[in-house]
């Protein structure tokens, strides 16, 4: 299923009138400082390995997460938690970058009163700039899915084939609320097999790749980095305002790189030297 056909569904899940959907940013694409900073972010070493990325669909149907295909990933580091309000505000102080769009809005747990909650209200280019400032980078889409699976094979969620409300922070349509009743502090739910928290729910996460709904049909087998260009950027994992179908490890979604959203944050990756 292509991004264009899925847009109405995304808008229903994410848009807040007069808040989301009209905010853009214009971060420069120029070189970023290479100086490393202490962001007090614990990282986990993800071992090299091969996994089956995506999921096949029934014959005659199409989806952007098919075909399932074998991918090899080199070892890399990944943040144990999503980037927090405290970490991002420190970055803003040191670089004069603008604060997140929803800063100070209690309903989105965005601001100095919620230092351990994941930051939201930043676009893809801002997430990329933060990662470079921190001496890191955004994970590729393939790295993200590999890490989210936590070593499990052929499952839909970081915890297995089923996702219980106590295992992640996502939207319960039957009760019209999130399992955590809004954003929760990072690390509030159990980690997956690699020791990483919130790879399903809490906030969806920007990754490095541009979006192409047909990319899996031509993706390289070794460390794929996505198409060279595209109108949208991929985010993964779903968030506190995403239904259980959108927090599956293979589920793909995308937004313009200048879009800010109350359901989307990020975490950083780093190469193994």
- Indicate which CATH number applies to the domain containing 250: 3.90.1580.10
Give the pLDDT of residue 229: 92
Per-residue pLDDT reduced to its tens digit, 153-172 = 999 999 999 999 999 999 99
Residue from 145, 159, 173 nearest 244 by CA:
173
Give the span between the Cα atoms of 252 and 145, in whole angstroms: 10
Q: What is the average per-residue pLDDT within 77-96?
A: 98
Residue from 219, 259, 214, 215 nearest 235 by CA:
259
Give the span between the Cα atoms of 194 and 149, in whole angstroms: 8
Sign of CA dihedral 162, 200, 53, 7: positive
Give the span between the Cα atoms of 224 and 252, in whole angstroms: 15
Domain containing 166 equals 3-26+41-271
Give a yes or no: residue 231 inside a domain.
Answer: yes
Give a yes or no: residue 35 inside a domain.
Answer: no
Per-residue pLDDT reduced to its tens digit, 30-49 = 333 333 444 457 999 999 99
pLDDT of 82 > 90? The answer is: yes
Q: What is the average per-residue pLDDT within 136-163?
A: 97
- Which long-range contacts (C-beta less than 8 Å, at least 24 apart) are formed by 48-53? 48/72, 48/73, 48/74, 48/75, 49/73, 49/146, 51/145, 51/146, 51/149, 51/153, 52/153, 52/154, 53/142, 53/145, 53/146, 53/216, 53/219, 53/250
SS3 assignment, position 264: strand
Give a yes or no: residue 192 inside a domain.
Answer: yes
Does residue 110 contact residue 117 with C-beta atoms inside 8 Å? yes
Give the pLDDT of residue 204: 98
Q: DSSP letter for 64, please.
A: T
Quickly state the pLDDT bin for 85 (edges 50, 70, 90).
very high
Give a yes or no: residue 109 inside a domain.
Answer: yes
Give the pLDDT of residue 59: 84
Outline where DSSP puts E strands in 56-178: 69-73, 76-79, 171-172, 177-178
Q: Tokens in use for 68?
A: 């399932």
Give Cα separations from 231 to 23, 126, 198 (angstroms).
Answer: 17, 17, 27
Q: DSSP letter for 14, please.
A: H
Q: DSSP letter for 82, please.
A: P
Helix, strand, coil in percent for the chain, rounding step 5: 20, 20, 60
pLDDT of 255 > 60? The answer is: yes
Give a yes or no: residue 144 inside a domain.
Answer: yes
Backbone angles phi, psi at 167, to 5 degrees: -95, -15
Outline where DSSP puts E strands in 12-170: 43-46, 49-53, 69-73, 76-79
| Cβ neighbours of 239 (radius 10 Å) | 31
Domain tally, the chain: 1
Give a yes or no: residue 33 inside a domain.
Answer: no
pLDDT of 4 > 60? The answer is: no
Give a yes or no: residue 36 inside a domain.
Answer: no
Give the span between the Cα atoms of 170 and 72, in whole angstroms: 30
Give the pLDDT of residue 40: 54
Give the span between the Cα atoms of 98 and 92, in whole angstroms: 6
Give the pLDDT of residue 24: 32
């Amino acid at each position: 299923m292509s991004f264009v056909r899925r847009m109405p569904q995304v808008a229903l899940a994410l848009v807040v009138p007069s808040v989301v959907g009209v905010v853009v940013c214009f971060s420069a694409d120029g070189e970023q400082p290479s100086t490393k900073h202490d962001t007090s972010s614990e990282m986990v070493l993800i071992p090299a390995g091969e996994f089956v990325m995506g999921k096949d669909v029934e014959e005659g149907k199409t989806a952007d997460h098919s075909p399932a295909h074998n991918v090899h990933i080199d070892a890399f580091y990944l943040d144990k938690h999503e980037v927090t309000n405290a970490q991002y505000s420190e970055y803003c102080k040191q670089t004069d970058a603008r604060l997140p769009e929803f800063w100070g809005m209690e309903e989105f747990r965005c601001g100095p009163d919620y230092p351990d909650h994941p930051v939201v209200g930043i676009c893809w280019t801002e997430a990329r700039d933060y990662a470079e400032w921190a001496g890191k980078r955004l994970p590729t889409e393939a790295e993200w899915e590999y890490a989210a699976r936590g070593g499990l094979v052929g499952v839909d969620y970081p915890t297995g084939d089923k996702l219980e409300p106590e295992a992640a922070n996502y939207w319960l349509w039957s009760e019209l609320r999130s399992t955590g009743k809004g954003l929760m502090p990072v690390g509030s739910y159990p980690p997956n097999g690699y020791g990483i928290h919130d790879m399903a729910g809490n906030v969806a996460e920007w990754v490095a790749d541009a979006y192409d709904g047909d990319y899996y049909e031509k993706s390289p087998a070794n460390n794929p980095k996505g198409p060279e260009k595209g109108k949208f950027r991929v985010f993964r994992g779903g968030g506190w305002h995403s239904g259980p179908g959108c927090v599956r490890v293979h589920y793909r979604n995308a937004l313009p790189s200048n879009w800010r959203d109350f359901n989307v944050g990020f975490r950083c990756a780093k190469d193994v030297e």
